């Protein structure tokens, strides 16, 4: 190569290296024709997330290790014991803030905090502490083991100053396990068929008739009936909910202490009706069909956005909360964030479904939520990486095609004719489902024409041919699965609770 050609080549590389991605066609803001955009994903879905559990990161302040409680791992104690994996280890927000440069140095553009609100420190029945954050009692303050609300402000400000966003992991499905039943603490689930909800006048009703509305029948008992007092003679619920005296008024905001705002039907087995109405191993399952609960949760999370400039939420246990809740909560929160000057506020949900994209996509289409974590993709990719899915498709001889098929995203990459040609080498059941799947390019035309993607149509085998999590609402192109380079595996609701 001549020296002149070498210089030209070097110059070309230099230009490429200095050109912002948008100028190379990856961004959308500079594209001359918005209709020609190649992706419905919001720019925010390109974040590199650092998913971090503060308790297990770095101990910046040993003075808060017991969270203001007496040391020990018994009831009412701190749950601090760094020698046991089920207890608090001492990490906190100060430790995280002190290492923001380290986190940014790994290419991180967004920090995703595990739930950080004040937890019931120890649940003796579980022989564990609330280090993970999923046993909330006070939704208005940072868990004292992790620091203070002021520590959170320092973390968010420090991250923003470095160009990193901060996402909260939020819970709307349940609180800590405080409510018991006079019949027992953790009882078997009783279905609505067996024992329907009854108004305080004793009239049976279906709560779903009121979900999404502004009125809800009055139920009894209300407030905090003592577990040490005789049970009320009548209960609107299958059980008689009560609160142990030692835990009276333990929840904040105060409305959370009203037992009539919980489902009170016993423990879920994660199937059918009880998946939404049952308690996760005793965790008090909120009556999310009741507008008081919806309004209360909206108020809680709007306050965090307003006071701390949070950039977005990851919403826990999404499939265990009713559709009407999300249909109101998600757009109201999104609009509120915009009104607070956070235009790219982004919310994505946890729908812990390993295989079914029709189920995960339900939340981004029917429920108006911006995005969901793509567990079906994770499952397929893990299987592919582990070698249990084919690494090469002999019919096409292309590694990328095999990889895309393993993830179930093959229809995105090619038209239906190619899809049908490629199924010959697959099992008959696979071939059947793929050949019957509607062609992706046709769905993409739907996107272009209507600005909205239709809810995926299940094939005879229950599979579908389009990726989940894309929606457009009120004329805005939005949605999409965060292309998170999460450095930790997303914990499963079932495994951690
Ligand atoms: Ca500490
Ligand atoms: Ca629920
Ligand atoms: Ca309970």
pTM of this structure: 0.73
Catalytic (active site) residue 125:
no
User: Residues, the chain, total?
Assistant: 497
Per cent of the chain over pLDDT 90 is: 60
**Which one from 316, 353, 374, 401 is the annotated catalytic residue?**
316
Show the tokens assigned to 270: 């994660």
Q: For residues 328 and 315, give the distance between their C-alpha atoms in angstroms, rounded to a whole number.
A: 14
pLDDT tens-digit series, residues 237-282:
999 999 999 999 999 999 999 999 999 999 999 999 999 999 999 9
User: Which residues make up the CATH 3.20.20.80 domain(s) of the chain?
Assistant: 43-173+294-373+486-496
Contact assessment for residue 92 and residue 60, using Cβ atoms and an 8 Å cutoff: yes
Q: Which whole-number Å values give the CA distances from 402 to 95, 150, 217, 412, 436, in the listed order?
A: 44, 50, 55, 13, 19
Catalytic (active site) residue 322:
no
Burial class (CB in 10 A: 0-12, 13-18, 19+), 275: middle
Which pLDDT does position 37 carry in this prediction? 56
Phi, psi of 151 (to 5 degrees): -65, -35
Q: For residues 211 and 85, give the distance between their C-alpha atoms in angstroms, rounded to a whole number.
A: 40
Q: For residues 254 and 179, give the distance between their C-alpha atoms in angstroms, rounded to a whole number.
A: 14
Distance 156 CA to ligand 1 centre (A): 18
**Stretch (H or E) spanning 139:** strand 136-142
Which pLDDT does position 365 carry in this prediction? 85
pLDDT higher than threshold 50 for residue 427? no
Q: Which residue has the higher pLDDT, 353 or 85?
A: 85
What is the dotted CATH code of the domain comprising 43-173+294-373+486-496?
Answer: 3.20.20.80
Which pLDDT does position 38 carry in this prediction? 54
Which pLDDT does position 6 carry in this prediction? 45
Q: What's the mean pLDDT in 462-485?
A: 30
Distance 265 CA to ligand 3 centre (A): 10
Contact assessment for residue 305 and residue 340, using Cβ atoms and an 8 Å cutoff: yes
**Which one from 180, 279, 289, 350 is the annotated catalytic residue?**
350
* Range with lowest mean pLDDT among 180-189, 413-422, 473-482: 413-422
Q: For residues 412 and 481, give the distance between their C-alpha atoms in angstroms, rounded to a whole number.
A: 15
pLDDT tens-digit series, residues 146-180:
999 999 999 999 999 999 999 999 999 999 999 99
Q: For residues 64 and 145, give the distance between their C-alpha atoms in angstroms, rounded to a whole number.
A: 5
Which pLDDT does position 51 carry in this prediction? 96
pLDDT tens-digit series, residues 36-53:
655 556 667 788 999 999
Distance 142 CA to ligand 3 centre (A): 22
Q: Which residue has the higher pLDDT, 411 or 382?
A: 382
451: left (phi over 0), alpha (psi -120 to 50) or beta: left
Which pLDDT does position 415 carry in this prediction? 28
Distance 321 CA to ligand 2 centre (A): 5
């Amino acid at each position: 190569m001549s020296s002149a050609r070498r210089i030209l080549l070097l110059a070309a590389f230099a230009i490429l290296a200095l050109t912002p991605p948008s100028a190379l066609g990856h961004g959308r803001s500079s594209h001359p024709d918005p209709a020609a955009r190649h992706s419905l994903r919001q720019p925010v879905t390109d974040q590199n997330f650092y998913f971090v559990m503060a308790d297990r990161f770095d101990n910046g302040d040993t003075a808060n290790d017991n969270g203001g409680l007496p040391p020990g791992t018994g009831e009412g104690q701190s749950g601090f014991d760094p020698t046991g994996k089920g207890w608090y280890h001492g990490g906190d927000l100060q430790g995280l803030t002190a290492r923001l440069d380290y986190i940014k140095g790994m290419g991180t553009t967004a920090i995703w905090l595990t739930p950080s609100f004040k937890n019931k420190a120890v649940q003796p029945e579980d022989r564990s502490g609330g280090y993970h954050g999923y046993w909330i009692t006070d939704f208005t303050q940072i868990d004292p083991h992790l620091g203070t609300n002021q520590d959170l402000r320092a973390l968010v400000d420090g991250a923003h100053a470095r160009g990193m966003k901060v996402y909260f992991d939020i819970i709307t499905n349940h609180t800590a396990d405080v409510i018991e039943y006079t019949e027992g603490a953790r009882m078997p689930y009783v279905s609505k068929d067996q024992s329907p909800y009854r108004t305080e006048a004793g009239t049976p009703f279906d709560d779903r008739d009121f979900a999404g509305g502004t009125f809800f029948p009055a139920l009894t008992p209300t407030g905090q009936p003592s577990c040490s007092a005789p049970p009320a003679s009548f209960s609107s619920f299958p059980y008689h909910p009560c609160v142990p005296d030692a835990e009276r008024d333990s929840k904040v905001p105060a409305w959370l202490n009203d037992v009539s705002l919980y489902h009170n039907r016993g423990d879920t087995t994660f199937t059918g009706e009880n998946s939404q109405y049952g308690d996760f191993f005793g965790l008090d399952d909120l009556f999310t069909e009741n507008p008081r609960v919806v309004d209360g949760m909206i108020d809680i999370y709007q306050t965090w956005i307003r006071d701390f400039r949070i950039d977005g939420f990851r919403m826990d246990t999404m499939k265990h909360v009713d559709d009407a809740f999300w249909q109101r909560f998600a757009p109201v929160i999104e609009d509120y964030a915009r009104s607070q000057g956070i235009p790219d506020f982004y919310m994505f949900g946890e729908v812990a479904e390993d295989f079914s994209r029709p189920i995960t996509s339900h939340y981004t289409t029917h429920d108006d939520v911006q995005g969901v974590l793509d567990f079906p993709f994770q499952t397929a990719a893990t299987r592919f990486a582990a070698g249990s899915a084919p690494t090469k498709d002999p019919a096409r001889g292309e590694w990328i095609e095999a990889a895309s098929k393993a993830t179930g995203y093959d229809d995105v990459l090619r038209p239906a004719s190619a899809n049908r040609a490629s199924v010959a080498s697959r099992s008959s059941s696979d071939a059947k489902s793929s050949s019957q799947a509607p062609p992706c390019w046709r769905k993409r035309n739907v996107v272009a024409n209507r600005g909205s993607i239709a809810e995926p149509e299940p094939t005879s085998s229950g599979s579908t041919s389009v990726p989940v999590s894309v929606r457009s609402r009120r004329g805005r192109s939005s949605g999409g699965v965060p292309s998170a380079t999460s450095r930790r595996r997303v914990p499963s609701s079932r495994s951690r609770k």
